[in-house]
Chain A
Amino acid sequence: MNIDALSASIVDGLMIGFIYGLAAMGLTLIFGVMRVVNLAHGPVIAVGMFAVLLLAQNLGLNPYLGLVIVMLLGLATGIGMYFIAVHRVIDAPELTTLLATFSVNLMIIGIGTVLFSTSPRALDVSLGSVRTGAVTILGTKLVADLIAVIATVGLYYFLYRTRAGKSVRAVANNRAAAELMGINSTWILALSFGIGIALAMGSGSLLATLFSFTILSGTVYEVKSFVIVVLGGLGNPVGALLGGIVIGLLEGLATISPLPVGWVPVIEFGVFVIILLVRPTGLFGAR
């Protein structure tokens, strides 16, 4: 194996890993708080992609400024989505919430296809690149990574240092007890869902600055997010970031290994199933 390719791929894997982690964070947060696997996760990411594209193309907004607006939009959308599709069935068996969020998936894709067609779009952002030896680091990826780290730290701070965040954890831990303590659990659940969707849409915006996309592109990240979330421990936001990095590195290394590239997903999903069977709390799960 070529040492240049190895070092370059480790760096590339790390770089994309942070972004994968961010993409999975919303999914894991929502699961952690309310045991709902959000099957609309992928389409929501795609909505984030198109939202930032529209802001950039119609209002000439810088994509990174657009990101902030997209996340605020995501918060509102998520809260709305919670009350429309999830609240009524929050205590029903898993299948019900899976199907409820899947129906939202269908609706988003349905509307999205009509509005944007499945034609691929790209956001032309360039922040130059740094090159040392065989390793090239793109400005856009670096910024995206930085934002992913900020988002993770921000989420961590929110959950552990603010009252609202602690209420989220309390509701996640024991909803009835939280109600008994005067915490409006419905609102907290809606808020958590909103934050989860905001994170998903935000990650979509960042992905849009890196790769071209269609309204269906979210699916790829949704499935990858499942893998990452399981790796990091379902419901563990910091685990999601770590899981993302592991997957990024795994992809990077598997790609330059002598194994044909086509086998990378076999390894990826194989790892996913094995982790689920052997250690369902994830590699970094505390419990």
Chain B
Amino acid sequence: MRLLPSRLLLLGISLATLFGAIACAQPSAQPAPTPTVAPKVATSKADTPAARTPAASAPTARKIVIGFTASNTGAQNLPSKKQTEGLQLWLDTVTKAGGIKLKDGTALMPEMKSYDDESKTDRVQALYTKLINEDKVDFLISPYSSGLARAAAVVSEQNGKIMITTGAADDSTMEQGFKNIYQLYAPGSRYLVGAIDLLKDLDPSARKIALIYEKEPFSTSVVQAAQPYARSKGYDVVLFEGYDPGTTDFAPFINKINATAPDAIMGGGHFPDGTTLAKQLYEKKVSVRLVALLVAPPEPTFSEIGDAAEYIVGPSQWEPGVTYSPDAAKAANLPWYGISVKDFVSGYQARFNSTPSYHSAGGYAAGLILQKAIEDSDSTEPAKVKATLDRLNLMTFYGNVQFSIEAKTHGKQVAHDMVYIQWQKDSANKLGTKIVWPPAAKSAGAQLRK
């Protein structure tokens, strides 16, 4: 047959690729001689400085490796990229400053080691195991999104590694009894709390709230926490329903919402459904006083839906307009640490040519908190760093950070506050976001929908 040569060629290509792949995977097939018992947690790099080549400069420099996976592909690709960029900026800053200085003059030079997790949990687990055992990273940072972070947390915990989670607001992850996982994001249970307070403050006459959510873990847990809170504040939750993550047309669902005549609509899910929902609420001229949606509103591209974006409120972990500062820290009686909000925003702008989102801030803050913990412990020894993290309570450009030390919720974020933004039109009729809650951080008053 005439086809044979091409078949042979192809097989050749496939086999060559295969062998290439196997060759690349060789290191995993022949690991360095390790004892059959997996290394103890304490056997970290801090105990074997001799293994490192000291840098030429007088104060000895030592590298510390920070590992994580990023979603270069798959559903979480965009926020994950922002998060990685934030972390990168931190790394640049530290490198420029000559590393993390210990009291004996050692400078720790952080390095990043990361893989693509394709936004998949099984991949995350394999890759974190690799990071821990092969790349011998010193500290871990979580991937973006609750589901992936939870998968990584399991591995990290199993290996006794310290991991800072960022981009993961899930409550339940932090109720699994982990001992080495520290959460930077305000947990989901607090996402809509401020929005309910805001409504109370803005329109005392409002009585009825419709809570709607995308049927997936994060959004579901947010509204599950918001429902009792709303009730405790005297609201009537007239609708409490989830929609399928694949929903594209909300028109019938909006009819259902309309039938309950709520004063406010809160919930939603992620970006695509959030924008479509906002757009259709506007188009169908739904008359509610306040709409608060998760995830989507803080994104700059939310404005692509035009006038439909106006008045939409959204919770955010952080915004470029926040007013955290050394003075604010003093006022709150907290120590201040690290970069100023202004320097972070301008530095980010200069480095990546885009405005930082809260994912970016989370990425930077993850590095920053780790740095602070290492400095305060004067060591990279996990036990010491862990003890420091447990005690930590401070304010940074990212806001207040403190971790729970209760056994049941160890590592859960207890101090960080959400800020709430609203899309408003300025005097030139141009749409933009303003921070409208909490009162201490707000840059403008919230507006009710007309």
Contacts and interface: CB of A to CB of B under 8 A. Distances in A.
A251 interface: yes
A39 interface: no
Interface stretch (A28-36, A161-169, A179-187, A214-222): A214-222
Interface string A87-119: 000000000000000000000001001000111
A119 B249 contact: no
A59 to B, nearest CB: 18
Nearest to A17: B249
Contact of A2 (B77, B259, B275): B259
B78 interface: yes
A62 interface: no
A214 B272 contact: yes
Contacts of B271: 120, 212, 214
Contact of A217 (B78, B252, B259, B272): B272
B252 A251 contact: yes
Contacts of B81: 117
Contacts of B73: 110, 113
A72 interface: no
B364 to A, nearest CB: 20
A261 B78 contact: no
Nearest to B272: A120
Q: Is the interface of B mostly helix, strand, loop or mixed?
A: helix
A10 to B, nearest CB: 9
Contacts of A68: none
B258 interface: yes
Given A5-B256, A12-B255, A256-B255, A131 B305 contact: no
Interface stretch (A78-86, A121-129, A151-159, A196-204): A121-129
A252 interface: yes
Interface in B206-263: 215, 241-244, 246, 248-249, 251-253, 255-256, 258-259
A265 B244 contact: yes
Contact of B279 (A9, A15, A212, A255): A212
Contacts of B304: 121-124, 212
Interface residues of B, number: 35
Contact of B75 (A2, A12, A216, A253): A216
Interface string B149-187: 000000000000000000000000000000000000000
B346 interface: no
A122 B246 CA distance: 17
Greatest chain B CB density within 10 A among A121, A122, A131, A224 is at A122
B245 to A, nearest CB: 9
Contacts of B76: 118
A120 B251 contact: no
B306 A211 contact: no
A264 B241 CA distance: 12
Nearest to A113: B73
Given A118-B78, A124-B305, A9 B284 contact: no
Greatest chain B CB density within 10 A among A119, A136, A212, A260 is at A212
A165 B81 CA distance: 48
A5 B255 contact: yes
B306 A8 contact: no
B252 A117 contact: no
B306 A124 contact: yes
A122 B249 contact: no
A252 B276 CA distance: 17
B256 A255 contact: yes
Given A113-B74, A223-B246, 13 more contacts: A15-B251, A119-B78, A120-B272, A121-B304, A124-B304, A210-B249, A211-B272, A211-B279, A217-B248, A217-B272, A260-B241, A261-B241, A262-B241
17 contacts: A5-B259, A12-B251, A113-B77, A117-B77, A122-B275, A124-B305, A129-B283, A134-B258, A211-B248, A221-B248, A224-B246, A255-B255, A256-B255, A256-B256, A261-B241, A262-B244, A264-B243
Interface of A: 2, 4-5, 8-9, 12-13, 15-16, 110, 113, 117-124, 126, 129, 131, 134, 136, 138, 207, 210-214, 216-217, 220-221, 223-224, 251-253, 255-256, 260-262, 264-265
Q: 5 tightest CB-CB pairs across the interface, nearest first? A: A12-B251, A255-B252, A212-B275, A122-B304, A252-B252
